Amino acid sequence: MINLLLFPIILPFFFAIALLFFKEQVKVQRVLTLIGVIVSLGASLWLVKTVHTEGVQSVTLGSWPAPFGISMVSDMFSALLVTTTLVLTLFVVIYSFSSIGKERERFFYYPAMLFMVTGVNGAFTTGDIFNLFVFFEVLLIASYVLIGLGGEKKQLRESIKYILINVVSSAFFVITVAYLYSVVGTLNMADISVKIADIQQPGIVTVIAVLMLIVFGIKGSIFPLHFWLPNAYAAPPIPVLALFGALLTKVGVYAIMRTYTLFFVHDTAVTHEILMVLAILTVLIGCIGALAYFDLKQIIIYNIVIAVGVILYGAAQMNEPGVSGAVFYLIHDMLIKAALFLLIGIIIYVTGTSNLRKMGGLMKTHAPLGWVYLVAAFGLAGIPPLSGFVGKLLIVQGAFEAGNVWGAIIILASSLVVLLSVIRIFIYAFWGEIPATSYPKTSNQTYKRLMLPAVILVVLSIFYGVGTEWLMPFMTDATDVLLQPSIYIDAVLK
């Protein structure tokens, strides 16, 4: 049992190390990366099944009893996120074969990707707050490589900003963890929860909760800490952008959801009220950005900001529909954002530009791309029965039950803005006439190879929406652990 929990972290790590020895052999790198991701995915699917049948799995390293050793914990929430991460990585890897370019592939692109996945999965699985910091650093260091890979002027400029902001936020993280340790005297997350309950969350702990929100808010890009995100994410090539957009902000969101349902639950009038207000402001600022730009990348990147706000608003309700909707919407958003980034990558490949004003008439030349994009766009906006609908419906239901009517109305209205922003891409790029300066010559073979992973991801997102009933037992398991911390605590502290 012990190893199963660690496989989705250890396997990508070992494969990443192995890849370092095949710098020049691109084909070997591709094959090894595919094998590594598929084997890890198999392990994570088995883990989901095990957690569903046997309950929360935990292991404390070094045969020390918890809370003294470092605990790794896999409940349904983290197991689902780990599995989704590996599914997305698999399709981004396949997409990369035809789009990232051999120069970047030779320059440790695949090892960096697998190291990043190691950090992401580790952050989702750790049961130790300091270890969460360690895994954050692992994924950030790998992302520094990926954001600057290729050395274009824009990439280097944005990577400097990105690194500076994350270094500051990491320092802030360590200071906050030190404050927390000085109050409760433990780093084990289950034990922290018990100790905070014992001392009834005094004012100092509420201050620490707000500091944590700032730390994870920078990583997850909550208003007003989202300022770095749009330009930083637009700089690297599309496969890297797809990974960043689908995974990195979600680790920050996960960390907020975990700490705000496990530790900081005794003074919700302050902590969760602040979270709710910031979530709504995040949605509003994302809506403004999504409508303001005529650049494909920026429109979808601002939609990441909107989704972060929607998920956290659901989590802040602290009732079953709200939290359940947040879990459902979080996984939906990872799938659909990855699919949309891959699709806009194809549009940029075909047209040679990411400026909407220079596009048009793609329906005449690339109709399948148009229809697949339209389905993904509807999924993002939450048109029933697609995957965005169920999560948002539950979040709105949770808000109404908690008496937060205005927030619910803003969340519903944001769906219209999301729909408008993505349909605008469809109208500009696919309707009308092909521009006078015609599109560059592209290879039909490459176009088909790029379409394959994008189409499969869109189909997966459709199944995720249509198969809601089948998935609900897993979502209920994930929600139960978040709303009843005792399940988590008992599993870890035995």
How confident is the prediction along the chain (494 residues), in pLDDT tens digits per residue?
456 788 999 999 999 999 889 888 888 889 999 999 999 999 999 999 999 998 888 888 877 777 788 888 899 999 999 999 999 999 999 999 888 878 888 888 899 999 999 999 999 999 889 999 999 999 999 999 999 888 788 888 888 998 999 999 999 999 999 999 998 888 888 889 888 888 877 788 889 989 999 999 998 889 888 888 888 888 888 999 999 999 998 999 999 999 998 888 888 788 888 999 999 999 999 999 999 998 888 999 999 999 999 999 999 988 899 999 999 999 999 999 999 999 999 998 888 888 888 888 888 888 888 899 999 999 998 888 888 888 899 999 999 998 888 989 999 999 999 999 999 989 888 887 887 777 778 888 888 888 999 999 999 999 988 888 888 888 888 898 888 888 888 888 87
AA letter at 27: K
The confidence score (pLDDT) of residue 1 equals 47
Are 360 and 113 within 8 A, CB to CB? no
AA letter at 341: F
Q: Provide the 3-class DSSP secondary structure of residue 68.
A: coil
pTM, entire model: 0.93
- How many angstroms separate the CA atoms of 39 and 335, rounded? 20
- How many angstroms separate the CA atoms of 179 and 156, rounded? 35
- How many angstroms separate the CA atoms of 57 and 52, rounded? 10
The confidence score (pLDDT) of residue 305 equals 92
- How many angstroms separate the CA atoms of 442 and 111, rounded? 29
The confidence score (pLDDT) of residue 340 equals 93
What's the alpha-carbon Rg for the chain, to the nearest Å? 22
Other beta carbons within 10 angstroms of residue 182's beta carbon come to 10
- How many angstroms separate the CA atoms of 300 and 344, rounded? 9
Cβ neighbors of 151 (< 8 A, separation 6 or more) are none
AA letter at 314: G
- How many angstroms separate the CA atoms of 422 and 188, rounded? 43
Angle in degrees, CA 219, 224, 230, rounded to 5: 65
Other beta carbons within 10 angstroms of residue 385's beta carbon come to 12
Residue 51: which of 27, 74, 84 has the closest Cα?
74
Query: How many Å from the N-terminal Cα to the C-terminal Cα in the chain?
Result: 16
Are 418 and 310 within 8 A, CB to CB? no
Side-chain-facing half-sphere of 57: CA atoms under 13 Å: 21
The confidence score (pLDDT) of residue 391 equals 87
Cβ neighbors of 363 (< 8 A, separation 6 or more) are 370, 430, 431
The confidence score (pLDDT) of residue 328 equals 92
Structure tokens given for 324: 């359940």
Side-chain-facing half-sphere of 344: CA atoms under 13 Å: 32
Structure tokens given for 145: 């490589």
pLDDT in tens, 183-229: 888 888 888 988 888 887 778 888 998 999 999 999 888 988 888 88
pLDDT in tens, 247-284: 998 999 999 999 998 888 888 788 888 999 999 999 99
Q: Provide the 3-class DSSP secondary structure of residue 432.
A: coil
Cβ neighbors of 356 (< 8 A, separation 6 or more) are 294, 295, 296, 424, 425, 428, 429
